[in-house]
């Protein structure tokens, strides 16, 4: 995974000694820089999508006009663009939903419009009925949207002629096939690069939040710890986008001949990213519990913030190792050292199970320690170890049979 970074989530503050005006100007400048950088990042990520959509729309119109003898094949480019827009998800499932939505919209529109005529209330009724039918079929968002959108087209733009239903459906089917062909055959996304660009705005801010958390713990700064928790929580939508991107990348290497050679490398890469993503969920749980420990004035030994810094460092080291395809030995050593530090923060386990542990952490801190070992387990799996080997290493390093 490359170390390129999406713009930070929070603009850097002005120096403390600066005047109020200087701080305002610096903050405004930083916000403008961040906004521009964020838009450049989005353009790099979705620029190919725009090209794919344009090519698909043009080809779909050409196919509909030249080969289907339709002078105005509106549904063909509409469906093609809808298929291409599903490039950050699973295209095949979306294709089926779009085509079923078109069929529903056509069926409802062509059935009712000859009876009701064209008008405002007629359009509303047709759309309501089309979406109700889609809901009864347990359709997803694509099916609902396409059913309603097609019903609007039939109700407003097309004459209510029943005999046109078959060519309309053929237009939509042709558009769907063109969209698939453009997205999977002619102009497929680069799967690994796409996943990289989706992973960066998840992992980079998360690592920054973890380093901030470690600093806040050393200072016993509750506000700073709560800010770190907020920073981790707002990454949820980006994690969803990353999950969709992983699905799209796997579909591309499975179906696009131009990307077949990347199957093996992408399989390892996506497995690593998935486990890193899981470790970030554990990091959020760590942050939540250790923040509560601060709020409850529990003791937090110095080893714990040091371990959090090492956890973040291990993820960064692992990313660099994956980028150059090197064995991530250093990353494994870093995370195991972090696990050892957490064990020291907890206190030594009693050799006699009937005797209590000598805990240096409080109740919430102990829960955070257990979550830490879960995160370490996922990071070790992301580095290429199997589940059992990673679990054994974590247990042996922490000197605990259970992740209490």
Q: Which residue reads 């913030």 in tokens?
A: 305
pLDDT at site 349: 55
Reading the block at residue 213, the tokens are 């958390």
pLDDT at site 58: 93
pLDDT at site 401: 56
- Verdict on whether the full-model pTM lies above 0.75: no
Tell which residue, 272, 238, 243, has the closest CA to residue 89: 243
* C-alpha distances out from residue 243 to 4, 196, 231, 259, 378, Å: 20, 12, 19, 20, 17
Give the distance from CA 254 to its chain's centroid.
20
Q: Which residue reads 């680069």 in tokens?
A: 190
* C-alpha distances out from residue 279 to 269, 274, 369, 379, 384, Å: 15, 9, 13, 6, 14
Are the C-beta atoms of residues 249 and 270 closer than 8 Å to each other?
A: yes
Tell which residue, 230, 270, 245, has the closest CA to residue 194: 245
C-alpha 274/C-alpha 182 separation (Å) is 28
**CATH number at 191-398:** 1.20.58
pLDDT at site 352: 45
The CATH 1.20.58 domain(s) of the chain lie at: 191-398
Low-confidence residues of the chain: pLDDT under 70: 1-20, 22-23, 26-27, 30-31, 34-35, 37-38, 41-42, 44-45, 86-95, 139-142, 146, 154-167, 348-359, 400-404
Are the C-beta atoms of residues 396 and 402 closer than 8 Å to each other?
A: no
pLDDT at site 326: 87
């Amino acid at each position: 995974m490359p170390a390129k970074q999406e713009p930070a989530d929070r603009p850097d503050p002005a120096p403390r000694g600066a005047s109020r005006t200087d701080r305002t100007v610096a903050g405004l400048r930083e916000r403008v820089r961040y906004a521009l950088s964020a838009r450049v990042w989005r353009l790099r990520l979705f620029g190919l999508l725009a090209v794919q959509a344009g090519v698909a729309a043009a080809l779909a119109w050409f196919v509909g006009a030249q080969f289907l003898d339709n002078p105005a094949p509106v549904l063909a480019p509409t469906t093609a663009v809808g298929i291409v827009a599903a490039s950050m998800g699973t295209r095949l499932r979306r294709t089926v939903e779009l085509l079923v939505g078109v069929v529903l919209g056509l069926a409802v529109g062509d059935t009712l419009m000859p009876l009701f005529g064209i008008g405002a209330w007629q359009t509303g009724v047709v759309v309501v009925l089309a979406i109700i039918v889609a809901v009864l079929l347990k359709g997803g968002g694509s099916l609902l949207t396409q059913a309603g959108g097609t019903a609007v087209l039939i109700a407003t733009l097309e004459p209510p002629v029943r005999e046109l239903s078959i060519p309309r459906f053929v237009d939509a089917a042709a558009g769907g096939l063109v969209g698939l062909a453009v997205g999977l055959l002619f102009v497929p996304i680069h799967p690994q690069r796409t996943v990289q660009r989706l992973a960066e705005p998840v992992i980079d801010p998360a690592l920054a939040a973890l380093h901030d958390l470690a600093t806040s713990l050393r200072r016993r700064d509750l506000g700073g710890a709560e800010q770190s928790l907020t920073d981790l929580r707002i990454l949820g939508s980006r994690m969803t986008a990353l999950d969709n991107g992983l699905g799209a990348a796997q579909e591309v290497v499975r179906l696009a001949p131009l990307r077949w050679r990347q199957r093996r490398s992408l399989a390892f890469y996506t497995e690593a990213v998935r486990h890193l993503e899981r470790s970030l969920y554990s990091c959020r749980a760590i942050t939540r519990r250790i923040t509560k420990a601060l709020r409850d004035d529990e003791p937090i030994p110095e080893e714990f913030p040091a371990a959090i810094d090492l956890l973040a460092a291990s993820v960064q080291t692992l990313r660099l190792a994956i980028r150059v395809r090197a064995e991530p030995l250093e990353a494994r050593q870093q995370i195991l050292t972090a696990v050892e530090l957490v064990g020291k923060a907890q206190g030594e386990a009693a050799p006699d199970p009937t005797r209590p542990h000598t805990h240096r952490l409080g109740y919430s801190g102990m829960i955070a320690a257990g979550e830490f070992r879960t995160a370490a387990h996922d990071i070790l799996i992301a580095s290429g170890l199997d589940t059992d080997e990673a679990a054994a290493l974590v247990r042996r390093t922490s000197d605990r049979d259970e992740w209490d």
